Chains A and B, each alone.
Chain A
């Protein structure tokens, strides 16, 4: 079977579920709103990082990205829906690749627009506190933010295919993201630097000292995502539908 019709079909599936479109809208709205709020908060703390402040909306916003990835896959898992999909496209690897492409493209697009909007909104509040940010750095932040959100959405998609449940995936990932970000917090160094969200967020910092740089951090997140996707694909290929 050709890939393009399968991809088209998967794209229609995403387009025709309002909850999925709502999640993308939430991703955009939440990220921008929280970044704008962060922009008008106190900038005198020693820990203050203008770039990270501008993108801090992705901390709550990524939950929407993760939900989008999880729900796009989990929508296949109720009432024997997967059987219908795989009866139409028996090449499971191809089907999964089409599904992931249909998740990736809108996520990248929405995340790029969102990251740009978040940066602008935050800078409006930050004023002179953001003067130290160079153009290249800001572009890196926007692109990095979009890549990070997309990788997290795909990470959730892979995990959902592995666990065969969106609820299971979200109840693992959301506490994980919140615990790592808020409880372990800014404590750097050690293994937590290599967790998918911590590593990927390095790209959002103006100054960051740790084992990982902006792009190596994203590469670590990409490895986590690849592992989740491979595990999901393996389960999908091996198991009875």
Chain B
């Protein structure tokens, strides 16, 4: 089993603790979303796993072994850390060739991953002519090169166009379905919610959560129910009679917080309140995340990067 194991991992830069006593495991067969505000330690953790930075204390292993001891590591672990890592003066294909050759990966894999990531037509162009989205695809191509069992991607959807975002979502789902270990960092909540099964959340280098995504949301955000009616007075009274509090919104609908649609539907129907619309509002990852990090975030009210 190839999982990523992080044990009591700590990394200090001077006096600042970028990663603080972190322990978690990323398991195969599911997509693990790696969340946290900027500066929370996500990228540092990934570099520590790859043996690029040395931990102050603790260990990080892949399949039970430190990364640096892996024989031909690209066959075991594929990583995208920075879309700008490819030299601008090299062609995309040559960039991948240098990586493939060093790990004795067959040359045909270079063409395969170029096809798979949709940049085959640009393969013989210099990387400096690539858009950010194409660079991301090239970085993902490099990560897939050795057909690795473990894949780590740092903000892979940065700069991707809408088609690209759908593509990466399906790619991540497929990689996990093939039994690979997939760790994807992001600060885009809706994006992460669309592909992650499991979440590891960091704040100021510390582990804030390590739970399945659904549980994470349900534990933090109570569902609510959205109703539209022609008889507001009747609706309010029947809800009040059962201890529910309805809030009216400007565009004419009501929301009932901390309530399930099954209960509210029965209540209003039994009372004969005319209903135009009735729907469940599930909690979103964004709400759950903001609830969790409200107290922890280094930069509160951090704007979402596009």
Q: Which residues of A contact B (CB under 8 A)?
A: 1-2, 5-6, 8-10, 12-13, 16-19, 75, 78-81, 83-84, 86-91, 240-241
Given contacts A12-B94, A16-B94, A240-B47, contact A79 B101 (CB under 8 A): no
List chain A residues, Cβ under 8 A from B52: 83, 86-87, 240-241
Given contacts A5-B104, A80-B82, contact A87 B89 (CB under 8 A): no
Cβ of B55 to closest chain A Cβ, rounded Å: 10
B186 beta carbon closer than 8 Å to chain A = no
B69 — nearest CB in chain A belongs to which residue?
A90
Query: Would you call B87 and A75 a contact (CB within 8 A)?
Result: yes
Proximity bits, B54-94, A CB within 8 Å = 1, else 0: 10000000000001101111100101011011110111001
Chain B count of residues within 8 A CB distance of the other chain: 33
Select one of B86, B90, B99 contacting A88, CB under 8 A: B99
Given contacts A81-B87, A90-B73, contact A8 B101 (CB under 8 A): yes
List chain B residues, Cβ under 8 A from A91: 68
The 10 residue pairs across chains A and B that have the minimum distance between CB atoms: A79-B84, A9-B102, A80-B82, A240-B53, A90-B68, A241-B52, A16-B94, A84-B85, A9-B101, A80-B85
Cβ of A74 to closest chain B Cβ, rounded Å: 11
Select one of A16, A80, A84, A90 contacting B99, CB under 8 A: A84
Query: Would you call B82 and A1 a contact (CB within 8 A)?
Result: no
B50 beta carbon closer than 8 Å to chain A = yes
Given contacts A5-B102, A90-B51, A240-B52, contact A16 B91 (CB under 8 A): yes
List chain A residues, Cβ under 8 A from B104: 2, 5
B137 beta carbon closer than 8 Å to chain A = no
Cβ of A164 to closest chain B Cβ, rounded Å: 14
List chain A residues, Cβ under 8 A from B90: 13, 16-17
List chain A residues, Cβ under 8 A from B91: 16
Cα distance A240–B203 when bound, in Å? Answer: 22
Cα distance A161–B189 when bound, in Å? Answer: 40
Select one of B51, B71, B81, B101 contacting A84, CB under 8 A: B81
Given contacts A16-B91, A17-B90, A88-B103, contact A83 B47 (CB under 8 A): yes
Select one of A9, A17, A18, A81 contacting B85, CB under 8 A: A81
List chain B residues, Cβ under 8 A from A90: 51, 67-68, 70, 73
List chain B residues, Cβ under 8 A from A83: 47, 50, 52, 81-82, 85
21 A-B contacts (beta carbon < 8 Å): A1-B71, A1-B72, A5-B103, A5-B104, A9-B98, A9-B99, A9-B102, A16-B97, A16-B98, A17-B87, A79-B82, A80-B82, A83-B50, A84-B99, A86-B52, A87-B73, A88-B99, A88-B102, A90-B73, A241-B47, A241-B53
List chain A residues, Cβ under 8 A from B103: 1, 5, 88
B150 beta carbon closer than 8 Å to chain A = no
Cα distance A84–B138 when bound, in Å? Answer: 12
Cα distance A5–B103 when bound, in Å? Answer: 7
A17 — nearest CB in chain B belongs to which residue?
B89
List chain B residues, Cβ under 8 A from A13: 87, 90, 98
Cβ of B246 to closest chain A Cβ, rounded Å: 53
Cα distance A8–B85 when bound, in Å? Answer: 20
List chain B residues, Cβ under 8 A from A19: 89
